[in-house]
Amino acid sequence: MRRSGKVAGKLRSMDLTAPAVPTQAASTDAVAQVFSVFHPSGHPAATLPTVSVVICTRHRPEMLQLCLEHLSEMTHVPDETLVVDNSSGDEKTQRLAEAFGARYVAEPTRGLSAARNRSLFESRCDVVAFLDDDSIPESQWLEHLLIPFMDDRVAAVTGEIIGFAPGDLHTSGTPSGLVGTRYVTRNTPRWFEMASFGGIGTGCNMAFRKTACQGEEFFDERLGRGSPFRIAEENCAFATVLAEGYAAVIVPEVRVYHPEKEMDVAQEAASSVAYCLLLFAKFPENRLDLIRFLVRRIFLRRLPWRLGSQNADRIVSGSWRLKLRAFVAGTTLYFRERNSISGQHGSRGPRGVTLMSRRRVQPDSAVAP
């Protein structure tokens, strides 16, 4: 069903059809009843997990304020809110964060992945949920997001992004087209390409179980805005947790409004080539899956899942000159950056304290398809 809602100043909660969400003190039976919507054979915890909501920002206090205003109206209150400023520090941003009761952290290492890794270190909760500073969550966003985490095999949850014109909060949003909750594991056909190329979700509306993503570096700091490859840090992270045997859940009711943007196509094409080379090196067991996906894309085969990038179709349908230039530029970029030390900056405290190793889960036979 197509959903659209007008964003006017502050969003009005839309008519959500998911079952009522239990409170922190709800009985085990009530929680199990709600959880059965997502995983009938699972074994839910007695309460919802604790959650840190993280907003990574850089020199955009006006956008950050709007995001914090809507976050303050959640029907489920986060256990903590972190504002991670990807700069050496900004007094205006710090005052704004503290005015809303958020904890302010400055991460001077440039790049969104470095900021995300710092937030994983700083978080004191079971789940770390991410919003962009220009995203606007609906009032029930957080409670719908937390329900699937009652199964400890779930490591990531994403939802629907409703786009609107930048700077115009009064236009009708464009839904991303999600229909029904989806449970994705290594048993899901084409799971690797889904995770790696936007079929799971995007970074402005996602959450991870902290114990599933601790390590030297969870978000690869060569990826993401402000980093050499500029794109796809969240997609690589989704592929990482699925490759380790966890599950990801896509829930349409986990709904966020976000301005529609377009990157420079030539720039994103070059970054995409570098990203594919990174995937080839980072996931040797899935190289054949990657090659098959790229062949289908080159020959414009239709994909059974939605792409996360707004420019992806423009790249593959572009001229061969665009593709050739992207191949040369992207290959050069990758080999220039491949000697970057994984974890050189990310997942550390202020004095370089690394996070503990990731906990592996049982084989996928124990996880719903």
pLDDT for the residue numbered 358: 37
Task: Please provide the average confidence, as pLDDT, over all residues in the chain.
Answer: 80
Q: Distance between CA 215 and CA 219 in Å, rounded?
A: 10
From residue 328, alpha-carbon distances to 128, 173, 269, 273, 318 in Å are 37, 38, 11, 9, 16
**What pLDDT is stored for residue 265 in this prediction?**
85
Ranked by mean pLDDT, the top range of 68-77, 213-222, 298-307, 317-326 is: 68-77
Q: How far apart are CA 165 and CA 37, in angstroms?
A: 34
Estimate the crossing angle of helix 265-282 against helix 320-337, to 10 degrees: 50
> What integer pLDDT is reported at residue 167 of this predicted model?
62
Most confident of 50-54, 158-162, 166-170: 50-54
**CA dihedral in degrees (80, 86, 88, 93; nearest 10)?**
-60
What is residue 338's predicted lDDT score, i.e. its pLDDT? 81
Identify the pLDDT of residue 177.
60
153 or 304: whose pLDDT is higher?
A: 153
Identity of residue 127: V
Q: Flag whether pLDDT at 108 surpasses 80.
A: yes
Please write the tens of the pLDDT for every residue from 224-266.
999 999 899 999 999 999 999 999 999 999 999 998 877 788 8
- Interval 305-331 mean pLDDT: 76
Please report the beta strands in 115-204, taking only residues with DSSP state E, as ranges in sequence order: 127-132, 136-137, 154-164, 182-184
Could you tell me the CATH superfamily of domain 28-261+353-366?
Spore Coat Polysaccharide Biosynthesis Protein SpsA; Chain A (3.90.550.10)
Question: What is the SS3 assignment for 35?
Answer: helix
Residues composing the chain: 369
Of the chain, the percentage scoring pLDDT greater than 90 comes to 59
3-state secondary structure the chain: CCCCCECCCCCCCCCCCCCCCCCCCCCHHHHHHHHCCCCCCCCCCCCCCCEEEEEEECCCHHHHHHHHHHHCCCCCCCCEEEEEECCCCCHHHHHHHHHCCCEEEECCCCCHHHHHHHHHHHCCCCEEEEEECCCEECCCHHHHHHHHHHCCCEEEEEEEEEEECCCCCCCECECCCCCCCEEECCCCCCHHHHHHCCCCCCCCEEEEEHHHCCCCCCCCCCCCCCCCCCCCHHHHHHHHHHHCCCEEEEEEEEEEEEECCCCCHHHHHHHHHHHHHHHHHHCHHHHHHHHHHHHHHHCCCCCCCCCCCCCHHHHHCCCHHHHHHHHHHHHHHHHHHCCCCCCCCCCECCCCCECCCCCCCCCHHHCCC
What's residue 313's pLDDT? 65
Which pLDDT value is given to residue 25? 37
Lowest average pLDDT, out of 71-85, 151-165, 169-183, 265-279, goes to 169-183
Closest CA to 206 of 225, 193, 219: 219
Separation CA 102–CA 44 (nearest Å): 30
pLDDT tier for residue 351 given thresholds of 50, 70 and 90: very low
The rounded percent of the chain whose pLDDT value lies above 70 is 72
| Rounded CA Rg of the chain | 20
Q: Cβ atoms within 10 A of the Cβ of 46, count?
A: 15
Which part of the chain is CATH 3.90.550.10? 28-261+353-366
> What pairing do the DSSP bridges indicate for beta strands 80-85 and 103-106?
parallel
The yes-or-no verdict on residue 10 having pLDDT over 70 is: no
Position 298 scores a pLDDT of 84
Q: How far apart are CA 157 and CA 129, in angstroms?
A: 9
* Bridge partners, 131 (sequence order): 55, 205
